[in-house]
Structure 1
Amino acid sequence: MRIGIPRETRPGERLVAATPTTVAQLVKLGYDVVVEAGAGAEASFSDTAYRESGAAIGDAATAWSSDVVTCVNAPDDASVAQLRPGATIVAMMAPAAHPERVAAFAERGVSALALDAVPRISRAQALDVLSTMSNVAGYRAVIEAAEVYGGMFTGQVTAAGKTAPAKVFVIGGGVAGLAAIGAAGSLGAQVRAFDVRPEAGEQIESMGAQFVQAQAAQQAVSSDGYAQEMTSEQERLTAVMYAEESAHADIVITTALVRGAAPRTLTAAMVAAMRPGSVIVDLAASGGGNCELTVPGSTIVTDNGVTIVGYTDLTSRLPKHTSQLFGTNIVNLMKLLTPDADGQVVLDMEDVVQRGMTVTLAGEVLWPPPPVQVSAVPAGAPVEVAPTVDPAVRALEEKEAARRAGQRKLVGYGLGAVLLGLSVAFSPAAFAGYFTVFVLAVFVGYYVISQVSHSLHTPLMAQTNAISGIILVGALLQLGNDSWWVTSLAFVAASVASINIFGGFLVAYRMISMFRKDA
């Protein structure tokens, strides 16, 4: 069978569904590959490179009339008319939002596989183009924000003074949100993020960001990996949180999409409360925008100096690597559809992955697919919405709680002082001197170590190893003392010091090995 790679017909699109590298992989699966002339030019892939990888170069008609046609975006009406009845078309189709496309494919008698309808299960991750595109878009969103933002992302300490790091707030902890968190964190920004799905909190924190807690506004654990429509009460509670977070942020990146539709997360009033020079990058602009003021495809500056980036082509702004990743998703799909690696497509509707992304089969409409349970996490109990409390009553309760906590602390301090006085009064005279040295050592050690920068923890560990060595020598000298009490303490001190020394050097060795190049 022949696979056709046509040139993208959407205006401004720079991506291509296959690269020279992925073409060679398709050829190994037994397929003949034809690439439309100039299809990869915008992504810096020449026709010569495609020929060297085993593809033939043809015109648009040849590519569209192939047995299997793979493209990035859904074909327009003219391109659908060029499809051969019985052929297979593989592309992103948004079938739920565009039923007319489904009807057109059925009328043409083709089998249509929607790349953006891949079930969110582990086995399908290798061909999930939504994750691929979202990952690129999240990374590119930070690049766009860095270009517009009037400051540096990372904090600086120089002879001329210091600058604070940028504060970034990411709405959504999906693939795009996590990519944005990672990119912003790697640039040195302080990142906070929120997602209505509670299971996303651990992923957000694993990327180095702080997960904004808003339990009453969060949903139960999702069963399909996607966020659901929020209730009116959840929307109200999240709006309060969004307003507070955006007012303190330098950069806000929104990524919320529910089945291709963009819920409203930032209102005009929230934008008006942001500081001049702040930046909003709306990754959901293609679905209408999360921000009320977003203009899809454009960048605007509000009256109070907030820049809102609403580009819908972020993935096309990195065409080379995006095309490579997208093409790899296609290869993984074709491996699934070609079990014998003989160049013949075999569609298996018993496979939940293939069934989930099949929109039409030989002209028969199969959309929407049956639901697939993809989460191994049991559904949690519904989150109860906390009752609304009068702010004045809440303030009084907090003040009373603080007063009681202060009283308990004072009582504790008083009891400690009494016990300390009694112990000093009834102990030998030498005890007071030893105890004074011990207390001073605790205070000095605490304040010295707490003020050490994280970057100096490794040399600090070496210093504590040296101190532990001194402790070990002193403990060894006391072993065999006539007093069993002194001998017991010496044994414990020697054991603990040995653990600290050997454990510290082992950790230091492993850390240094991370930066050692193989010979």
Structure 2
Amino acid sequence: MIIGVLREPAPETRVSLLPEGVAALTRKGQTVWVESSAGQQSFASDEDYRNAGAQIGSATEILDSAALVLSMHPPRQSIKTGTVLIGVFQPLYQQQLMAAWAASGLTVFSLDMLPRTTRAQAMDVLSSQANIAGYKAVLLAAQLYPRYFPMFMTAAGSVAPAKVLVLGAGVAGLQAVATARRLGAVVEVFDTRPAVKEEVQSLGAKFIEVEGAADASRAGGYAVEQSEAYLQRQQQRISDSIAKADVVITTAQIPGKKAPVLIQEDMLRRMRSGSVVIDLAAATGGNTPFTQNNEAVHFNGVSIVGNSNLAASMPADASKLYGKNITNFLSLLFNKEGGLHLNWEDDLVKGACIAHEGAVVNERVKSLISEAV
């Protein structure tokens, strides 16, 4: 079977599979075709891919020949009926595209829909990329913040450490905490899930508790919407912490919905001039009312940077981790002879599948399509 790897559209710098991933697949008897220059931005040359056993071709050649296509983002070209397409397509926000692909006879797997279970960790693209995003969010904040992060005591006087507030203690948030602590900042963390308190404290940060959060244990590891009463208490606690914060890293998102606005205008007005907000939820609206995706906005002396794709700023390692996630997922789709075998009894295969045999099969996506009609 031919597996195709497409070059991602600009400004994306990552690639679905590096040469090491190609080598792993070719050792298992698979044939891999890679679009010319697909790995250039991730520091992998066409020659590197050839040495790993890949054939280099154009997007048209790959889409005409491959039975399974890897593309992180929706391909720019038309795709032949019967193709298996694997990427991160945000189907909860792109329902019409999913419906169109289903009507075209594609089988579509979107790995951002994988259940957040222990077994899925090895193929959890959201976590592998969020880890990088949390790390880079703090480094970006440190670059923009006009003061030191650590405490300094010098003959010229003392400098107090930066106060960092992290909203959301998922993978990105916890990595942001760890990175900020390594840089010497004092860190506070807010999350609706009390269960993460121990992890936060183990990293040396203070956990901000708010009573009455909705139970997220049945949401497959994703965030859930909260009651109005809880949101009011949450806003007050966040407001108190933001007034003291020099840097805020926001990561709060709810799958299929607009990101909650956690930082209101009056809170931003209470932050001192020169403070920085890095909003990782920018692609779904952002956690502030002024966030613009892929832009830096200045409000009352505060820099608000919207960036939901910080992982792409480290394309070599981001592609390496993503590619490992992909190869782990592909192992679920092949039988012992290396042929394609879609086991619908497997909760990971079923959970990640969006379209198959001419229909949208994911219940959440189907429901959203029905609501939009």
The TM-score with structure 1 as length reference comes to: 0.68
Write out the 4+ residue segments of structure 1 that deviate beyond 4 Å after TM superposition. none
Q: For each residue in 1:363-406, what CA deviation from the matched residue of structure 2 results, as whole angstroms up to 9, or x when unmatched?
A: 23211269xxxxxxxxxxxxxxxxxxxxxxxxxxxxxxxxxxxx
Once the two structures are superposed, the pairs formed by residues 241-252 of structure 1 within 5 Å of their partners are 241-252=237-248
Match of 2:362 in 1: 367
Gaps of 5+ in 1: 371-519
User: Once the 2 structures are TM-superposed, how far is the Cα of residue 206 of structure 1 from its aligned partner?
Assistant: 2.2
Q: Residue 175 of structure 1: CA displacement?
A: 0.9
Alignment partner for residue 350 of structure 2, among 345, 349, 355?
Answer: 355
Q: Which residue in the other structure is 1:403 paired with? A: none
CA RMSD of aligned residues (A): 1.5
Tell me the distance in 2 between the aligned counterparts of 1:111 and 1:188: 48
Contact kept? 2:214, 2:227, Cα under 8 Å: no
| TM-fit CA distance, 1:74 | 2.4
Structure-2 separation of matches of 1:156 and 1:345: 59
Please name the residue that 2:74 is paired with: 74
How far apart in 2 are the matches of 1:346 and 1:164?
59
| CA contact 1:355–1:369 (8 Å) conserved in 2 | no
Q: 1:220: how far off?
A: 2.8
1:159 positional shift: 3.2
What is the alpha-carbon distance in structure 2 between the residues aligned to residue 334 and residue 269 of structure 1?
Answer: 48
Aligned to 1:51: 50
Q: Which residue of 1 aligns with 2:123?
A: 127
Q: Match for 1:289 among 286, 290, 294?
A: 286
Alignment match, 1:152: 148
Match in the other structure for 2:222: 226
CA deviation string 1:43-90 (max 9, x = no partner): 1111111111111100111222311001111234xx2x2x22212000
Judging changes above 3 Å, is the alpha-carbon distance between structure 1 residues 110 and 369 closer, same or farther for their aligned structure 2 residues? Answer: same
1:269 and 2:284 are equivalent in the alignment: no
Tell me if the contact between 2:29 and 2:338 (Cα under 8 Å) persists in the aligned partners: yes
Q: Pick 1 or 2: higher relative contact order, CA cutoff 8 A, min separation 6.
A: 2
Q: Distance in 1 between matches of 2:108 and 2:49?
A: 25
Aligned twin of 1:169: 165
Name the structure 1 match of 2:3. Answer: 3
1:187 matched to 2:183? The reply is yes
Give the whole-Å Cα distance in 2 for the aligned partners of 1:307 and 1:257. 21
- Give the distance between the partners of 1:29 and 1:287, measured in 2 at CA: 39
**What's the counterpart of residue 323 of structure 1?**
319
Per-residue Cα deviation, 1:287-342 (whole angstroms, up to 9, x for no partner): 1110111121100221x3111111233111111110111111101011122241x3
Q: CA separation in 1, counterparts of 2:62 and 2:179?
A: 38
Report the counterpart of residue 40 of structure 1 in structure 2: 39
What is the identity, as a one-letter code, of the residue corresponding to 1:295?
Q
Distance 2:151 2:183 in 1: 10
Identify the structure with the greater helix proportion: 1
Partner of 1:463: none
Say whether the 8 Å CA contact 2:216–2:223 is kept in structure 1.
no
Query: How far apart are residue 221 of structure 1 and its match?
Result: 5.0
Cα 1:338–1:369, aligned 2, differ >3 Å: closer, same or farther?
Answer: farther
Alignment partners' CA distance in 2, 1:173 and 1:106: 35
- Cα pair 2:16 2:319 within 8 Å, conserved: yes
1: distance between equivalents of 2:82 and 2:16?
A: 21
How far, CA to CA, are the matches of 2:135 and 2:335 in structure 1?
34
Greater Rg over alpha carbons, structure:
1
Distance 1:180 1:219 in 2: 24
Q: Tell me what 2:202 maps to.
A: 206
Please tell me whether the aligned partners of residues 296 and 305 of structure 2 are also in contact (alpha carbons under 8 angstroms): yes
Q: Provide the secondary structure at the position in 1 that maps to 2:290.
A: coil
